[in-house]
């Protein structure tokens, strides 16, 4: 009788330990997956920030070229205006 009680207690303890170990493993796996998802989100965010930075640099370069063309046109108009005033 005592043997059966001891045997049952050992089986119960074994199941409890195995169940606890499995819960710890799944918990660790779940937290690992969560960290992985967060790092993927950060990588995607930094990628989009880099894309935005590159777009803003391209826009700034385009604006600088546009301003240079405008300055050239203004200088040509100044020359034409000076020439026109001299002809008056």
pLDDT tens digit sequence for 33-54: 887 788 777 777 766 777 888 8
Residue with the bigger pLDDT between 87 and 33: it is: 87
Nearest one of 43, 66, 47, 44 to 55, comparing CA atoms: 47
Structure tokens that stand for 33 in this block: 């997956």
User: pTM for the whole thing?
Assistant: 0.43
pLDDT tens digit sequence for 65-79: 999 999 999 999 989
CA 33/CA 40 separation, integer angstroms: 10
- If you write DSSP's letter for every residue of 15-62 in order, what string do you get? HHHHHHHHHHHHHHHHHHHHHHHHHHHHHHHHHHHHHHHHHHHHHHHH
Please report, rounded to a whole number, the percentage of residues in the chain having pLDDT higher than 70: 97
- Structure confidence at residue 12 (pLDDT): 85
């Amino acid at each position: 009788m005592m043997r059966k009680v001891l045997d049952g207690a050992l089986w119960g303890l074994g199941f409890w330990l195995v169940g606890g170990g499995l819960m710890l493993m799944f918990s660790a796996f779940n937290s690992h997956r969560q960290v992985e998802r967060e790092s993927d989100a950060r990588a995607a965010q930094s990628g989009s920030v880099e894309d935005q930075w590159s777009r803003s640099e391209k826009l700034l370069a385009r604006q600088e070229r546009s301003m240079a063309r405008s300055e050239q046109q203004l200088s040509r108009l100044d020359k034409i205006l000076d020439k026109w005033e001299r002809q008056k």
